[in-house]
Chain A
Amino acid sequence: MALNRLRLFAPYVLVLCATLYFYRLADRFVYDPQSGRLGPGAWPKILLVSLMLVCIFEIGRRALILAGVLSESRHLDVAEEVIPEALPEEQAHPLAVLMAVLVTVLYLLSFETLGFFLSTFLYTAALMWIGKFRNVAWNLAISFLFTFAFMFAFMRIIFVDLPIGVEPFAKLSTALMRVMGVH
């Protein structure tokens, strides 16, 4: 029950707190004021106040529904109104999402150290594993193929300077670049 209530209010309270914090920041922008002109904080403040009002409205509305004063009236979107059973989408398991986010963070942290090839190869294999493609041989083969293809397309065709990593990983990257004819 308490958890449900927390879920009901938490996003709005969180946004409201963040809004208050950002409003304080907007109040302290450093600039040379010009008479009769709105400062650089005016526009963000309008947005922040509007955001605050919406959050307060929604928190109040939800509180009144919980207290039984208001009945829950959820307006249907266009799709639901035309076809009520429309768009039943299956969502990913939160654990899979969490793992995907974690490997992405590790990938980005290792990107410049391991170099594009090695970090991307490992990342692709991990992503496919999280995506339930768990045949190890095929997983590694496809990861290699994807990484090689991306490296070739971006370095050879679009001329993007992808990181080669630090030694000893740089040796692998430069060897592959030689194979691709990238100088």
Chain B
Amino acid sequence: MDTLGLIATGLLNVFTPANALVMLIGLLVGTAVSILPGLGLVMGVVLALPFTYSMRLEPAIILLTAIYMSGTYAGCFTTILYRIPGEPMDVPLLWDGWGMTKRGEAAKALGWALVAALTGGLISSAVMVSLAGPLSKLALAFGAPEYFAAVFFGLTTVVSLAGNSLPNALISLFIGLLVSTIGVDSTYGAERFTFGSNILMNGVPYVMVLVGIYGFGEILSKIGQPVRIHEQAGTGASGTKTNFPSWREIWDLKATFARSTTLGTLLGLVPGAGATVASFIAYGVEKQYGKRGKQVGTGVPEGIVAPQIASTASVAGHVVPLLTLGIPGSGATAVILAAFLLKGVQPGPFLFSDPASTQTVYTIMASMFVAVVGMCALGFLWIPIIIRVLTIPTGVLGAFIILLSLIGSFADRNSLSDVWIVAVFGTLAYLFERVTIPVSPMVLGAVLGPMAEDSFMRSMITFDNDATIFFKQPISGTLMALALLSLAYPAIRGVIRRAKLKRAAPLIARKNGERL
């Protein structure tokens, strides 16, 4: 069957009662977590994971993908109406969204955000679905060196984009990779870093690392902190309305739509560059190259459209490589990978090898289209109601999330040791944040560690311990070059910044002189 046929059948599958129900639940949950500051969409996906244990593969992944997708949209409501960015990715919406709200144009700002999310989500999903087939064929050509190079590239981009200190990000990454080596080694059956403990013999399940860091740790770092609501007269939950921009207005912003959709989709493909990075970069590009770039930040639609499109578009960019290559590029996709593995299914090119599993993949991809439309529809119906959760005391909400994290992790294997792992990694995440060590590299290190070690060891066995093999093969060589480039990226960026400052120095000095 061709791609269109597979997607059409997938769409029909999405509307079977079980799948449609979990889709709806996913959209409701994703919306709820993304409007609450401090509860990221990754946390939403993590907390929903235990509920997928008793589900079949298809509804389980649809649930998590729907949370992921809607998590990129609903935060715009609290950002625009109350100046509370539900997620870091919503911060760029703050200036122009709140700016429009102050001028009494909140409904219009919400309309722009909706059109942006719809456009970004649908176009990016379409692009990625059309790329899924070729990507899976390319992945079939991957041997051990190519897989190692792909994982290495993923890890280096995460490091280069995380936080503001490259050494700190590297430390976090290596600790994550080391965590993944704990337990009995699969090749020799040797015990590694187990200290004779039965608990550590089976290794540290990376799902528990994820739950600890994104669930328990997140709440720990914000415990007792209230949410401050800024409400502009005439707006608010009860008066939340959405006014769509006219076709003419949308047409005037065609360049912004095109630029940001392309950026969001491409950045989604880059491991580590999640919705937040996509949103900030699209905003920055719009500010620099947009027709009304100088006005961005003062309450113009471009400042809403660019980040919203890019963050929603990045989701498909992340999900499709996971399905076709089996490599997660973000925290949320790492959880989705965990859901696959819990069902005994390894995502990747072999999913496309038989018709039944191919259809499952396309049903999941079709669910992304439905999720985009569904989350926008919920913008009218569900958000005005759910926005009231902002009035729930943070102490109550925090306790609920921590309970869900701990009991959910216990439910996986009925093991208290898993809950201890969650508590340890949550506390570690808090300590890391205190000393400005980013935690996302550690998470991806723990997730991708086994894949990195396995492909490295297989390459060494196949090519007689020749480490240069990663640079000799065309695909792996290209990926390794990209990886090294991404590692050098922070340094290059620093040099460019310093050069810019140097160039601007005489101007600044002259300005200061004039002032004096």
A73 to B164, CA, bound (A): 10
CB distance from B173 to the nearest CB of A (A): 9
Closest residue of B by beta carbon distance from A101: B427
Cβ–Cβ < 8 Å partners of A107 in chain B: 406
B253 at the interface (CB under 8 A from A): no
The count of residues in chain A whose C-beta lies closer than 8 Å to any C-beta of chain B is 77
Which of chain B's residues 32-52 have a Cβ closer than 8 Å to chain A?
A: 50-51
Which of chain B's residues 157-174 have a Cβ closer than 8 Å to chain A?
A: 161-168, 170-171, 174
A166 at the interface (CB under 8 A from B): no
How many of chain B's residues touch chain A, expressed as a range? 35 or more
Cβ–Cβ < 8 Å partners of A167 in chain B: none
Cβ–Cβ < 8 Å partners of B498 in chain A: 73
- Whether B191 pairs with A30 at a CB distance below 8 angstroms is yes
Stretch at the interface among B3-11, B180-188, B362-370: B180-188
Which residue of B175, B223, B403, B435 contacts A51 across the interface (Cβ within 8 Å)?
A: B175
A68 at the interface (CB under 8 A from B): no
Closest residue of A by beta carbon distance from B445: A47
B147 at the interface (CB under 8 A from A): no
Which residue of B191, B223, B226, B406 contacts A96 across the interface (Cβ within 8 Å)?
A: B223
A83 to B226, CA, bound (A): 24
Please judge, given known A-B contacts A11-B437, A30-B191, A87-B88, whether A48 and B178 are in contact too, CB under 8 Å.
yes
Which residue of A40, A61, A94, A143 contacts B187 across the interface (Cβ within 8 Å)?
A: A40
Please judge, given known A-B contacts A87-B88, A160-B411, whether A97 and B220 are in contact too, CB under 8 Å.
yes
Interface of B is mostly: helix
B350 at the interface (CB under 8 A from A): no
Which of chain B's residues 244-297 have a Cβ closer than 8 Å to chain A?
A: 276-277, 280-281, 283-284, 287
B385 at the interface (CB under 8 A from A): no
B423 at the interface (CB under 8 A from A): yes
Which of chain A's residues 79-123 have a Cβ closer than 8 Å to chain B?
A: 79-83, 86-87, 89-94, 96-97, 100-101, 104-105, 107-108, 111-112, 120, 123
B12 at the interface (CB under 8 A from A): no
B399 at the interface (CB under 8 A from A): yes
Stretch at the interface among B124-132, B453-461, B478-486, B508-516: B453-461
A79 to B400, CA, bound (A): 30
Cβ–Cβ < 8 Å partners of B420 in chain A: 108
- Whether A47 pairs with B177 at a CB distance below 8 angstroms is yes
- Whether A44 pairs with B407 at a CB distance below 8 angstroms is no
- Whether A74 pairs with B164 at a CB distance below 8 angstroms is yes
Which of chain B's residues 189-248 have a Cβ closer than 8 Å to chain A?
A: 189-193, 216, 220-226
- Whether A22 pairs with B280 at a CB distance below 8 angstroms is no
Which of chain B's residues 453-471 have a Cβ closer than 8 Å to chain A?
A: 453, 456-457, 460-461, 464-465
Q: List 27 A-B contacts (CB under 8 A).
A: A15-B175, A25-B193, A26-B192, A30-B191, A31-B189, A44-B193, A47-B181, A48-B178, A51-B174, A51-B178, A55-B171, A58-B167, A61-B167, A74-B164, A81-B497, A83-B91, A86-B91, A89-B222, A93-B224, A104-B402, A127-B399, A129-B395, A131-B399, A132-B224, A132-B395, A133-B393, A150-B404
- The chain A residues found within 8 Å of chain B, CB to CB, are 11-12, 15, 22, 25-26, 29-32, 36-44, 47-48, 50-51, 54-55, 57-58, 61, 73-83, 86-87, 89-94, 96-97, 100-101, 104-105, 107-108, 111-112, 120, 123-124, 127-133, 142-143, 146, 150, 154, 158-162
